[in-house]
């Protein structure tokens, strides 16, 4: 059994079972057996089941949100959005089974057609920072394509995934088509990598672990989708709407206590407006509401664990602090929103992913330097450009090496558009109209017309 701890109090409030290797193998074998039946379900019937799953999730939005507040320390507003995102992603991909069409390719002597065949069992490994939506981004398109799913939630945050597994059965999905397997990554997650019946692994988490999963999957030439770390830049030019950019910047890095691969944790400000922008930013940071995540007015809750708080603290030196917000004292894993001034691009807090509510700020001279600094990282997941110049916006958008970029906005994710990283931020794309294809093999069939 594994204790589940409330990050706002630091206290255990329940336990969940932790599967061993034998239990994991048994679940994978059940999924493999269920695949033969699930792939034969008519596309329209599979679509109806996914829509029913979405409807059942919708009936339990508040329950799921309250679970996430207590288990992950998410604000109640964010948690409701996250549960709603699972519903919306299921509804979106419920439209996919009947549209998973191949092609007819002109060839001499016959007809050539292609089919998108489901892979089989898909293993999905979910992180602790966004347990509900990232689970849905994997299992919804995988199920829509005709695969069965085994899903391992993070050890720290298993509760909403377990409940989603129960709701899937309540909605009428056949038994063993979607199974949630709580347990250690070294046991359950690693078995997804090594078990030959698991034909694809979807992993969201650290770049270090992602590399080991990719290496393990290579042994069986197993497909893999990776969404890994980030150190995204928020680039503010002198011609931007500075008030809007400064008001939006705290949410872009402090949302979910900075525990977000898309966090715009590197703030680049053009030198001619650097002091003015910091003056606008300071009151926005100090006003950012860090309090009980169950409170409707809360903008940021606690960090996930004491260990994570120790990691974040290690990056903050008093000499680098420009200003900070406030956070509750006492029990729980609280940390105040913090803005650090980077002395140079070599500073550790500027270069490394902190995964906490810490923002590093550095000035730049011109467009060329902004591009160089934004790209001077091993990561490439997200980012923002703030400017009123359309030509500059387009030039920067093409030049910055990142998978999801916003202009005059800090938005990274829409379920109907692709999401994923460049460089060491990942491999493959989730969400959007093409996500289903990564859960299929293309089969080419030639039918001879004979003499």
**Cβ within 8 Å of residue 431, ≥6 positions away:** 89, 137, 413, 414, 415, 416, 417, 418, 419
Residue 55, token pair as written in the block: 């409807």
Minimal CA–CA distance to 223: which of 138, 127, 119? Answer: 119
Residue 192 CA to residue 220 CA, distance in Å, equals: 12
Residue 120 CA to residue 417 CA, distance in Å, equals: 25
C-alpha 96: how far from chain center: 21
Main-chain dihedrals φ then ψ at residue 329, nearest 5 degrees = -100, 165
How does strand 223-227 pair with strand 426-427? antiparallel
In 318-357, beta strands by DSSP E: 321-324, 338-341
The interaxial angle of helices 76-94 and 43-59, nearest 10 deg, is 160
Q: Is 227 a catalytic residue?
A: yes
Residue 160 CA to residue 126 CA, distance in Å, equals: 11
Contact (CB, 8 A) for 238 and 270? yes
Q: Is 217 a catalytic residue?
A: no
Residue 52 CA to residue 173 CA, distance in Å, equals: 9
- Active-site residue, selected from the candidate residues 82, 155, 202, 261: 261
Tell me which DSSP letter residue 411 carries.
-
- Active-site residue, selected from the candidate residues 227, 299, 401, 430: 227
Q: Could you list the active site residues?
A: 227, 261
């Amino acid at each position: 059994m594994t204790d589940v701890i409330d990050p706002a109090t630091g206290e255990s409030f329940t336990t969940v079972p932790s599967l061993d290797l034998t239990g994991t193998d048994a679940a994978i074998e059940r999924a493999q057996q269920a695949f033969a039946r699930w792939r034969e379900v008519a596309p329209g019937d599979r679509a109806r089941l996914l829509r029913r799953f979405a409807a059942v999730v919708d009936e339990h939005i508040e329950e799921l949100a309250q679970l996430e507040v207590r288990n992950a320390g998410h604000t109640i507003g964010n948690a409701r959005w996250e549960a709603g995102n699972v519903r919306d992603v299921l509804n979106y991909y419920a439209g996919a089974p009947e549209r998973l069409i191949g092609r007819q390719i002109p060839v001499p002597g016959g007809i050539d057609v292609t089919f998108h065949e489901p892979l089989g069992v898909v293993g999905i490994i979910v992180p602790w920072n966004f347990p509900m939506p990232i689970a849905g981004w994997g299992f919804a398109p995988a199920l829509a394509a005709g695969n069965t799913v085994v899903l391992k939630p993070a050890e720290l945050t298993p509760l909403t995934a377990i409940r989603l597994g129960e709701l899937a059965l309540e909605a009428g999905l056949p038994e063993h088509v979607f199974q949630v397997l709580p347990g250690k990554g070294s046991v359950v997650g690693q078995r997804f990598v090594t078990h030959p019946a698991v034909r694809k692994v979807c992993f969201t988490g650290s770049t270090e672990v992602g590399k080991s999963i990719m290496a393990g999957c290579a042994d069986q030439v197993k497909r893999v989708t990776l969404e890994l770390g980030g150190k995204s830049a928020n680039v503010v030019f002198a011609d931007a709407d500075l008030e809007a950019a400064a008001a939006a910047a705290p949410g872009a890095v402090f949302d979910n206590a900075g525990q977000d691969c898309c966090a715009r944790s590197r703030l680049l400000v053009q030198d001619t407006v650097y002091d003015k922008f910091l003056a606008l930013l300071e009151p926005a940071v100090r006003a950012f509401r860090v309090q009980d995540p169950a409170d409707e007015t809360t903008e940021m809750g606690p960090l996930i664990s004491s260990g994570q708080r120790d990691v974040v603290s290690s990056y903050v030196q008093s000499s680098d602090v420009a200003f900070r917000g406030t956070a509750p004292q006492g029990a729980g894993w609280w940390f105040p929103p913090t803005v650090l001034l980077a002395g140079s691009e070599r500073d550790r807090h500027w270069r490394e992913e902190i995964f906490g509510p810490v923002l590093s700020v550095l000035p730049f001279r011109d467009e060329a330097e902004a591009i160089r600094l934004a790209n001077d990282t091993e990561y490439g997941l997200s980012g923002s450009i703030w400017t009123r110049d359309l030509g500059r916006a387009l030039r920067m958008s093409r030049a910055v090496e990142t998978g999801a970029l916003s202009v005059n906005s800090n938005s990274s994710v829409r379920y109907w558009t692709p999401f994923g990283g460049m460089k060491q931020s990942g491999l493959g794309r989730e969400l959007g109209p093409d996500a289903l294809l990564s859960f299929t093999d293309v089969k080419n069939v030639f039918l001879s017309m004979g003499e």
